[in-house]
Amino acid sequence: MADLALLLISTLVIGQAPGPQDAPSPDGEPAVLDDVVVQGRRGVALVEPEVELDGFKIDALGADDIGQVIRRLSEDFGLGDGPLIIVNGRPMADPGVFSGFPPDALIRAEVLPPQAGALYGETDPSRRVVNIVLQRRFHSRDARASLRLPTAGGRSETSLDLRQSSIIDTRTRQLGLKLDLDTALRAGERDQTRADGSAAETVTLRPASKSLSANWAQTASLRDWALSLRADGRIQERRSTALREDEPTGSRQTSRSLNMVGGLNGKLAGWSVQGALNGAVSQNERSGLSPSDSRTRIVSANLSLSRPLFDIPAGPAAVSLAGRASRSRSETEGAAFRTTHSGRAEGFSGSLSVPLLRRPIGEDAPAFHPGDLSVTVGANVSKTDSGRGEGTNLGFAWNPRPSLRISGNWSTSAQSLDDAQRFEPEYYGDPVVVFDFLTGEAVEVLPILGGNPDLRAPSTDQLSLSLAAGPFSGFPLQGGISYNRSDAVDGVGGLPALTLQVEAAFPERFHRGSDGRLDSIDQRPINYASALAETLNTSFGVSASLGQGGRRRDATLRLRLNHTWNLSNATTIHDGLPSMDRLAGDGGGVSRHRLGLAVDVSRGAWGLNAVANWREGYRTRRMIGQDGPDDLRVDAFSTVDLKFSYQFAGPPPEDGGRPRRGTGLQVQLDISNLLDARPSARLGDDRSAPGYGRDDQDPMGRTILISLKRRF
């Protein structure tokens, strides 16, 4: 009977997956029950993580907040732009309420295997899941001041960031205020030969800007439900001066925005429910080149449901449903026009995930088993004022061994267009430098941006296959390889690079002065008749503890190497232009190979973060389909970024454990583009390429950031 009671207690304490409303114990905190000590773990996910970072490895990333931690994980492990974030092992309607918390508010962060999405109500099988586990109790008041300067001078970027954060079981609160002041970088402060002497002192290569942003976020629990509220506001002003018909013309842009999100998640009649209501208002005023005043209001709602549907020998099959709806209204008034647009959008998606195989556990498990296998099938429909979209998807996840994971996803979709892609007002963007093949010179032009009401809805087929391995016993090495293919019809994108044939096909999009000099390009989106791209991505990583490095902090090392190989990239705009092989240089060249290396080292009070990126050179052809002496050959390019940090001793933790980073004064030195590398190029016959002087493509070059961060 005593053994049975102990088993029951262990099951209740260890077996559940605690969430924000459960107030579980943090990692390693024991629960003592009648002389029985049971070790619990906070925030356990439904599946074992593929990658796990404890608190000290999170500190080694050198991130400023939880949002940056998630971005680093997305970059290092190829998770895409928007992984699904769950908190303490549970889905949340608005996980963004925690993105501004300091990194040491996390106990650990986990990248879950591909099959986890379906278990947490995600209807897209290709979307990955990141589990962030918060401290049970946490309080901080942080101030951060920073100054960034290019070593060549001419510009300064100043920032002041104040935050107050607290976590008490299920109740959290975060307040933040940030001020940014950036001065302008002018052409006269760099070797700019394109601007004449009189204009060089006024033309800006980088605009002056100032912004003030504030945020508030709070969570609480109501019985078995978790509530969240978040508000973000921002005011920004940007000033720039550009040449228009050889005359300097000033522009000013002022924007104000307020965004509010309310979230609710919990259980209802066996369903896991997440719902969110979002309201946003913004105002944007422009003067100078494209004077206008626009106001936008958006209200949107999202609801997702998931639950086990039926049981089969390998486990429960789960169904996930999601719906979304939005309403928007925008008003734009210019010097000679006034437009009003009201839009609406609805969408629905659903998926069914079925486990086909599950590896037996226990003494009776066979010596050989094919492992765990699950499949997910889904569909979606959407409707906007611009048309209707629909799609289907299919995914599988197979784990033949605990350290080996194979997954794949296929989808086909006819997408509905976003209203902004069609109806955003026309305006001038910041000046850019382009190489004009017609005149053989580099010119600074003003891009025309905005929406294109003539766009057609695209259709896309996508396929991805991936294999991941590790970590291995005794050696924490992980690696993976993935193949991705995208085949689109009527795909939406920007105008290809300026060549003679592209200008001949779109003469209305290129504006030249009376002397034939190019001064603006209409870069509003267009439809591509077809576009095919294939990539092969590989990655290797190692994460190891180097023992204690002073002040009882762990010394850690993380190393990540990523390689992207573009296998094919071909685009056909319309019948008037032949198919463009981007890898060969048609329509603007594309690098075939890219490499990225990230190294994070933390030892005692010291931290080092290094990021190196390399891009292979490429060619941009003057004439589609053939190399020539007037082509543009862009050289290979590499950059190295370094960040050093030192953490002064702060107050010891109340539990007597090892201190985390962020508890005392922190000094940080960040050197971007350490080698002061600048893009360079030659023409096809090895002549110097105009527009690729030292300051032409990148007038900033190497920059140094010094920041002080203090917890009060």
Distance, CA of 99 to CA of 105 (rounded, Å):
11
| Residue 88 in this model has a pLDDT that exceeds 80 | yes
Task: Show the CA angle centred on residue 134, arms to residues 129 and 138, nearest 5°.
Answer: 160
Structural contact between residues 172 and 197, judged by C-beta atoms closer than 8 angstroms: no
DSSP string covering 461-477 = EEEEEEEEE--BTTB-E
Q: What's the sign of the alpha-carbon dihedral 84, 85, 88, 90?
A: negative
3-state secondary structure of 563: strand
**Tens-digit pLDDT profile for residues 544-603:** 877 654 444 568 888 999 999 999 999 998 877 788 999 999 988 899 999 999 999 988
In eight-state DSSP terms, residue 626 is B
CA 261 centroid distance within chain: 20
B/e letters for 10-19, b = 16+ CB within 10 Å, e = fewer, are eeebeeebbb
Q: Percentage of the chain with pLDDT > 70? A: 89
Among candidates 27, 53, 133, which has minimal Cα distance to 600?
Answer: 53
Read off the pLDDT of residues 309-347 as tens digits, 9 standing for 90 and up: 999 998 899 999 999 999 999 898 887 778 888 888 999
When pLDDT is averaged across residues 41-60 and rounded to a whole number, the result is 87
Average pLDDT, the chain: 86
Q: Of 616 and 75, which is predicted with more confidence?
A: 616
Give the model confidence (pLDDT) of 340-377 as tens digits: 888 889 999 999 999 999 888 766 667 678 889 999 99
Indicate if the pLDDT at residue 181 is higher than 80.
Answer: yes
Residues in the chain: 712
Peptide bond just before 629 cis, omega within 30 deg: no
Give the single-character DSSP code of 13: H
Give pTM, 2 decimals: 0.85
Hey, what amino acid is at 457?
A
Phi, psi of 522 (to 5 degrees): -80, 105
Task: Yes or no: say if 395 and 375 are a contact pair by the CB < 8 Å rule.
Answer: yes
Q: What angle do CA 285, 292, 199 make, to 5 degrees?
A: 85
User: What region does 265 belong to: left with phi over 0, alpha with psi -120 to 50, or beta?
Assistant: beta
Tokens of 302: 């999202």
pLDDT at 224: 83
Was domain 2-133 assigned CATH 2.170.130?
yes
